[in-house]
Amino acid sequence: MRQSELFTKTRKEAPKDEVSKNAGLLIRGGFVRKEMAGVYSYLPLGLRVLKKIETVIREEMDALGGQEVLLTTLQDPEIWQKSGRWQDDAVDIWFKTSLKNGHPLGVANTHEEALVNLLRDHISSYRDLPLYAYQIQTKFRNELRAKSGIMRCREFLMKDLYSFSRSEAEFREFYEHVALSYMNIFGRAGLGGRTYRTFASGGSFSKWSDEFQTICDAGEDTIYVDKEKNIAVNDEVYDDDVLAELGLNKERLVKEKAIEVGNIFPLGTKYAEALGLAYKDESGNVKTPVMGSYGIGLGRLMGAVVEALSDERGIVWPESIAPFRMHLISLGKNAESEKIYKDLSKNAIETLYDDRDARAGEKLSDADLIGIPYRIVISEKSIAEGGAEIKKRDEKESRVIGFEEILHYGKKNETMVK
């Protein structure tokens, strides 16, 4: 893409009311726009990142045997009354609306009730199970505080997966698969080595749930990490008895600020029972499926990457989810840049081409802010030295390479935006 045609502009300062680092950088780089507290629109660069995160997550969900669905935002209160989650004192983040005739409607903040109700049409026998359904869908939550930029929004994209199993054992086996898959997702998204599976409190059916917590200063949670065992405990459950039960040694735990990028939750038979979802086992006995739910916030993940990997000059995208792989910058007009841009495009290498008529300093500081992994500068000087200057975003010094070498750095991205 030619940067001269990109309608977004970078800006020197974040808006005064933006307190978070992630949204500050993303707004300055032209990735998102703040509409109001906790509500952000995605612009072309931001949407490319979001789509790549979506691709990584979808690949992992499909590998688990998940079947993708898309449920509605508008919800009939009736099913939520059955589970006891319609009342505001049970769920304090509801957005509610109503039909013209006054009939109340819920604006979905999660989808256990809706999916369980839907599956009553499709599950009747043990042969229909296990079943795994997921979606990547917009959730609405009237969050009390929204000071973490795109990491805590009132409208946000969530991947939510739900599992329906025939027994506790069958459920547990899948639950552990999801836990591994989540570590893959966060690793592939660039948060490997700083994201920990974390013991957290469970609901009425399980003592524990598991959160996936990424260490970062802007995190809203506090966790205690055992780096050797590669696990952590959320401070909401941290006490001597719990540590003993988990076999963790207090001396070895390091207290950290962290952001919950995902969580997985045993639900037992709570929702299936409340909504009347049942099946017949091999002997014809009526049974209730055992459920789990598994969430990841896509914007939360993107914000966590910005928080964890940026430096004083701007964002540092991991290759897997960068909006483009290459940032080709021509300093002054030259035919070589145009030719290289055509070659990169022909080879389907995702490139942002800074062909703008702007000062060198502005182009280079914009490149640092936007954070594309490979920066390639072509100028009279680089041409005289034999080609182009190349620098990875997290390197200090650039070096000159021949034009023919550029393509070697440009492998196709596995999560290419179509």
* Chain contacts with ligand ATP (rule: CB under 6 A): 110, 141, 143, 152-153, 156, 158, 260-263, 295-297, 299-300
Instruction: Read off the amino acid at residue 402.
Output: G
CB of 71 to ligand ATP, least distance (A): 15
Q: Report the residue number, 234 or 351, with the smaller CB distance to ligand ATP.
A: 234
CB of 299 to ligand ATP, least distance (A): 5
Can you read off the two tokens belonging to residue 192? 């490997």
Look up tokens 């739900």; give the residue: 162
Q: Distance (Å, rounded) from C-alpha 208 to C-alpha 214?
A: 19
**Extended strands (E) in 275-403:** 279-280, 286-287, 290-297, 326-330, 351-354, 374-378, 388-392, 399-401
CB of 227 to ligand ATP, least distance (A): 22
Residue 109, φ and ψ in degrees, nearest 5: -105, -10
CB of 212 to ligand ATP, least distance (A): 7
Cβ neighbours around 217 below 10 Å, total: 11
List of residues 6+ apart from 418 with CB closer than 8 A: none
- Taking each helix axis from N to C terminus, what angle separates 168-186 and 44-63, rounded to the nearest 10 degrees? 140
Q: Distance (Å, rounded) from C-alpha 187 to C-alpha 262?
A: 13
Q: Report the residue number, 80 or 341, with the smaller CB distance to ligand ATP.
A: 80
- Judged on CB neighbours under 10 Å (0-12, 13-18, 19+), 127 is exposed
Q: Report the residue number, 296 or 321, with the smaller CB distance to ligand ATP.
A: 296
CB of 171 to ligand ATP, least distance (A): 17
Judge contact between 176 and 58, C-beta under 8 A: no
CB of 160 to ligand ATP, least distance (A): 7
CB of 2 to ligand ATP, least distance (A): 33
Q: Report the residue number, 23 or 290, with the smaller CB distance to ligand ATP.
A: 23
Q: Report the residue number, 189 or 401, with the smaller CB distance to ligand ATP.
A: 189
CB of 155 to ligand ATP, least distance (A): 8
Q: Report the residue number, 295 or 387, with the smaller CB distance to ligand ATP.
A: 295
Q: Distance (Å, rounded) from C-alpha 52 to C-alpha 417?
A: 7
Can you read off the two tokens belonging to residue 133? 């359904």
CB of 243 to ligand ATP, least distance (A): 22
Judge contact between 191 and 320, C-beta under 8 A: no
Q: Report the residue number, 134 or 279, with the smaller CB distance to ligand ATP.
A: 134
Q: Distance (Å, rounded) from C-alpha 340 to C-alpha 22?
A: 33
Q: Report the residue number, 32 or 369, with the smaller CB distance to ligand ATP.
A: 32
Q: Which run of H or of E encompasses 173? A: helix 168-186
Q: Report the residue number, 116 or 367, with the smaller CB distance to ligand ATP.
A: 116
Can you read off the two tokens belonging to residue 127? 């042969």
